[in-house]
């Protein structure tokens, strides 16, 4: 038996004014994406902004449905839009934020496991890391250098890949 440890490195910022200009812009755009949220049931809005290598930024917001499992998180809305419209795009970074009228969010909201797995697939497909910024409106910000940092045991099975 071996005892192994995993460690991740991440950056912590007190607020958006501490970020580099590109990262601050991405955070502000994730905040704008909140306006597209359809969340009449949870009242919990999530927005994401993703920068691809061309410099273009794609927004996504959570989309709920009365049949709860039929909804989709903001991260996957934006990522699947990229997969459909820019299949060869390289994703450089993404910012995620959340807001609700029910209470004040005091810490950055992180992605769910399903979103992390999809994010890991995009990172694996492009063979390049995706920086992820978790942006708490008017508060703390966390930045990780790659999705692998967040989901080191993502599901991978190379034999499932179709060979041409």
Catalytic residues, by residue number, are 75
* DSSP three-state, residue 70: helix
Sign for the pseudo-dihedral over CA of 68, 149, 77, 111: positive
Distance (Å, whole) CA 82 – CA 42 = 26
Characterize 75-101 residue by residue with b for buried, 16 or more Cβ atoms within 10 angstroms of its Cβ, and e for exposed: bbbbbeebeeeeeebebbbbbbbbbee
Sign for the pseudo-dihedral over CA of 143, 83, 42, 30: positive
- Among 83, 137, 152, 148, smallest CA distance to 106 is for 137
Sign for the pseudo-dihedral over CA of 106, 66, 132, 149: positive
């Amino acid at each position: 038996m071996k005892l192994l440890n995993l460690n991740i490195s991440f950056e912590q910022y007190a607020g958006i004014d501490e970020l580099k200009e590109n990262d601050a812009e991405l955070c502000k755009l994730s905040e704008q994406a909140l306006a597209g949220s359809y969340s009449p049931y949870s009242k919990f809005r999530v927005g994401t902004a993703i920068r691809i290598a061309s410099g273009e930024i794609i927004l996504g917001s959570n989309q709920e449905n009365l049949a709860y499992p039929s909804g989709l998180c903001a991260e996957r809305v934006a990522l699947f839009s990229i997969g459909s419209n820019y299949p060869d795009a390289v994703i450089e970074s993404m910012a995620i934020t959340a807001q609700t009228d029910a209470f004040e969010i005091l810490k950055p909201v992180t992605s769910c496991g399903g979103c992390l797995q999809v994010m890991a697939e995009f990172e694996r497909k492009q063979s390049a890391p995706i920086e992820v910024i978790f942006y708490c409106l008017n508060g703390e910000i966390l930045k990780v250098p790659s999705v692998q940092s967040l989901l080191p045991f993502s599901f991978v099975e190379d034999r499932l890949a179709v060979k041409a």
